[in-house]
Amino acid sequence: MKALQWKIHVVDDPRYREHRAPARHPERPERLLAVGEALAEFAPQICPVEARGATDEEILRVHGRDHLRRIAEVVGQAPAHLDPDTFVSAESFDVARLAAGAVIDLARLVARGEARTGFAAVRPPGHHAEADRAMGFCLFNNVAIAARALQAEDGVGKILILDWDVHHGNGTQHFFEADPSVLYVSTHQFPYYPGTGDFGEAGRDRGEGTTVNVPLPAGCGDAEYVGSFQRIVVPAVRAFEPEMILVSCGFDAHRDDPMASMEVSGEGFTAMTRIVGSLADELCGGRLAFVLEGGYSASGLREGTRAVLQTLLEDAPLPPAPIDAPAGSLLRAVVDRVAAVHRQRIPEIGAA
């Protein structure tokens, strides 16, 4: 198959910069220039994927018709706000469709084995968007829309959505919290915006246990993130056995980020990507796609994107050595609290 000569398929379209931000808003088009600088370093190894707009039918699998109508209405009065954080410019409706549509197409190429891995550098981000409202800079929930498209049209059953954006993906959690076919795992600063994502939020009804939250206090860095991946994410994902992995990939846990208070470095993102990459190889034939969410410093976006791309280009990513979690450490405290919620279903949680 010709496409497989490429190791990574990338969505990176200048139209994503046309979702214009009010002055001094952190979710601004320049974010994608920083991502683009990192992508340019890998240009010879990248196969570009063209962006196309998601259809109403695709969006309506997760959002209500009123949500579509409201965005169209507010965009008609642009520049305007949907909530105090979430703005639209005249182009935003079309750009948001392009984000959701491109994420579907990229995920589909990977799911069908026509691409090995993918990275979507899209705006606006998606993981805060709820069924019936825009929120936290997000208009449509790109990852949720893609997951539902894969299930509806590509025969994909079980999907992991791993959300390492520094904020909790309230929208994504809510879409899938009663659905055992999607495992939602999130590492995030807590307490912090949007306020959801506490330890005990573990899914409901038939989806009980397929939501795993790893709330981390401000100030966590590589050790806490990588250690949480090893002791919580890895056993949870192995127990679930996904057929495809989507990463809600924010770079706002980076130490340079002006919005959050985490200390993750480029090396940290490399280690996290290696863990995810080796899980994908082990469990789902390497089917893995990254979708940009937040990230508000140019250096964090550049270093994070570089870390992900570099790792995806490795032949067999070697997972990092186990991080110690001695009694009394912050990592141990977090791991123990997550284990207390999930140990019945996933007894391996907590071990390195």
Query: Hey, which residues are catalytic here?
Result: 128
CA separation, residue 146 to residues 156, 169, 244, 284 (Å):
11, 15, 11, 17
Minimum distance, C-beta of residue 177 to Zn ion, in the bound complex (Å): 19
- The residue (of 155 and 191) whose beta carbon lies closer to Zn ion is 191
Residue 145 · residue 131 · CB < 8 Å: no
Residue 124 · residue 95 · CB < 8 Å: yes
- The residue (of 149 and 246) whose beta carbon lies closer to Zn ion is 246
3-state secondary structure of 193: coil
Tell me how crowded residue 339 is: count the other CB atoms within 10 A of its CB. 20
Residues that bind Zn ion (CB under 5 A): 165, 167, 250, 252, 294
CA atoms within 13 A on the CB side of 68: 14
Residue 167 · residue 294 · CB < 8 Å: yes
Minimum distance, C-beta of residue 127 to Zn ion, in the bound complex (Å): 8
Minimum distance, C-beta of residue 247 to Zn ion, in the bound complex (Å): 13
DSSP string, 9-70: EEE--GGGGGSPPPTT-SS-THHHHHHHHHHHTTGGGEEE----PPPHHHHTTTS-HHHHHH
Q: Which residue is nearest to Zn ion (CB)?
A: 294
- The residue (of 126 and 235) whose beta carbon lies closer to Zn ion is 126
Minimum distance, C-beta of residue 170 to Zn ion, in the bound complex (Å): 11
Minimum distance, C-beta of residue 294 to Zn ion, in the bound complex (Å): 3
Query: What's the distance, Cα to Cα, between the start and end of the chain in Å?
Result: 38
**CA geometry: angle 157, 162, 168, nearest 5 deg:** 125
- The residue (of 12 and 252) whose beta carbon lies closer to Zn ion is 252
The amino acid at 27: E
- The residue (of 8 and 103) whose beta carbon lies closer to Zn ion is 103
Match 């009394």 to its residue by tokens: 328
- The residue (of 171 and 294) whose beta carbon lies closer to Zn ion is 294
CA distance 286 to 48: 19
Minimum distance, C-beta of residue 30 to Zn ion, in the bound complex (Å): 16
13 phi/psi in degrees, rounded to 5? -120, 130
